[in-house]
């Protein structure tokens, strides 16, 4: 069997799961989820996790794997996903990588070494903190997450400190460990990438409908149940769109109507950032989608392009 992987990317609410399931059913495939939140248990409605009947139709990897406080990162994902892909090749199955977490996708396609780029928003936050609190503040933050690297730096070398914090933020791996423990063998895998492209205003309307459905499906109850299990409101997995706004509502910071408005606004902004990320990759074959009827032709295009792709 050829060592090829289908990759389906796109912004939130673009139909990636729907297309991937349809492809998997017809191509003897299994889905590798590249969603940094769906990997956690109990975060179902707010992450638009595949429904139980969809999970029964097609085997999904990296869905419902860890408790919400779990410490999973892009480096672990790359290693684990490559192992699953090799297993699927051995079983003559088609691996289908599907998700909107650009960092996870890029780590698997290109390797974590080539993935550690610049997180503009995080870097601006670090710069602000440096202006407010000084070099020592950044240095103390680095000591908390990566004491080995910190021991080999001085606070005044703030650019190096900032970069080390940035690498850890993006990957969960201390920067010095890259040279010492990381080595990606030549995996000899072709990743054939496809992106779902919606006209922006249509996508935004779809986002608003999805958020309304999430509320109707019980997002508030979901958040309450998660917190009732004893999980902290401060968890990284809950400090994300859909959850943080509902938590603020439950804290009486604003009414539910305002929480819904913020979820819609923040999801639109998130979708815009996703498209900015994916647009940088010229290897992605973009498929224009205007409505659900277009998915049949999108599926045909993926299968045809994937079939004739040669490395």
Q: In this structure, what CATH number is given to the domain that contains residue 152?
A: 1.10.20.140
Partners of 29 in beta bridges: 94
Partners of 30 in beta bridges: 95
CA distances from 43 to 118, 151, 248, 278 (A): 28, 38, 17, 25
**Domain check: are 88 and 156 in the same one?**
no
Q: In what order do the strands lie in the sheet with 29-33?
A: 60-61, 29-33, 94-98, 4-9, 190-198, 285-289
**Domain check: are 128 and 33 in the same one?**
no
**Domain check: are 143 and 281 in the same one?**
no
Q: Are 206 and 13 in contact (CB under 8 A)?
A: yes
- 132 lies in which domain range? 120-181
Q: Which helix (H) or strand (E) holds 283?
A: none
How is residue 108 written in tokens? 């698997």
- Does 117 score more than 70 pLDDT? no
- Mean pLDDT of the 182-199 span: 82
The candidate with the shortest Cα–Cα distance to 299, out of 31, 100, 19, is: 19
**Domain check: are 46 and 72 in the same one?**
yes
**Domain check: are 298 and 194 in the same one?**
yes
Gap between the Cα atoms of 9 and 14, Å rounded = 9
Structurally, the chain folds into a number of domains equal to 2
Q: What would the pLDDT profile of 36-58 be if each residue is shown by its tens digit?
A: 999 999 999 999 999 999 999 99
> What 3 state SS string does 162-229 have?
HHHHHHHHHHCCCHHHHHHHCCCCCCCCEEEEEEEEECHHHHHHHHHHHHHHHHHHCHHHHHHHHHHC
Quick one: pLDDT band at residue 183, thresholds 50, 70, 90?
low
Partners of 286 in beta bridges: 195
Domain final residue pick, 164, 181, 198: 181
pLDDT at 182: 52
DSSP 254: S
**Domain check: are 167 and 242 in the same one?**
no
Q: What is the dihedral of CA 275, 213, 48, 289, to 10 degrees?
A: -40
Quick one: pLDDT band at residue 118, thresholds 50, 70, 90?
low
- Does 115 score more than 60 pLDDT? no
pLDDT at 185: 57
**Domain check: are 162 and 54 in the same one?**
no
pLDDT at 46: 98
- Mean pLDDT of the 182-194 span: 77
């Amino acid at each position: 069997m050829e060592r090829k992987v289908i990759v389906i990317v796109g912004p939130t609410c673009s139909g990636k799961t729907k297309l991937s399931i349809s492809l998997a059913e017809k191509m003897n495939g299994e889905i590798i989820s590249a969603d940094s939140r769906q990997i956690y248990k109990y975060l179902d409605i707010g992450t638009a996790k595949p429904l139980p009947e969809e999970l029964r139709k097609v085997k999904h990897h990296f869905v419902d794997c860890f408790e919400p406080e779990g410490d999973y990162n892009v480096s672990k994902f790359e290693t684990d996903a490559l192992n699953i892909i090799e297993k699927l090749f051995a079983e003559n199955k088609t691996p289908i990588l599907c998700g909107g977490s650009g960092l996870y996708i890029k780590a698997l396609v290109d390797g974590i070494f080539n993935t550690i780029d610049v997180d503009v928003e995080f870097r601006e936050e670090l710069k602000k903190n440096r202006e407010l609190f000084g070099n020592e503040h950044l240095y103390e933050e680095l000591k908390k997450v990566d004491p080995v690297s910190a021991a080999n730096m001085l606070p005044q070398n703030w650019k190096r400190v900032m970069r080390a914090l940035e690498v850890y933020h993006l990957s969960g791996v201390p920067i010095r460990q890259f040279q010492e423990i990381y080595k990606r063998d030549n995996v000899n895998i072709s990743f054939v990438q496809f992106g779902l492209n919606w006209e922006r205003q249509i996508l935004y309307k779809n986002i608003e409908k999805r958020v309304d459905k999430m509320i109707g499906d019980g997002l508030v109850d979901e958040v309450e149940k998660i917190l009732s299990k004893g999980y902290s409101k401060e968890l990284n997995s809950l400090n994300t769109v859909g959850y943080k706004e509902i938590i603020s509502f439950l804290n009486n910071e604003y009414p539910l109507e305002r929480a819904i408005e913020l979820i819609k606004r923040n999801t639109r902004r998130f979708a815009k950032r996703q498209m900015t990320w994916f647009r940088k990759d010229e290897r992605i074959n973009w498929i224009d989608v205007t409505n659900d009827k277009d998915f049949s032709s999108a599926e045909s295009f993926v299968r045809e392009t994937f079939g004739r792709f040669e490395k």
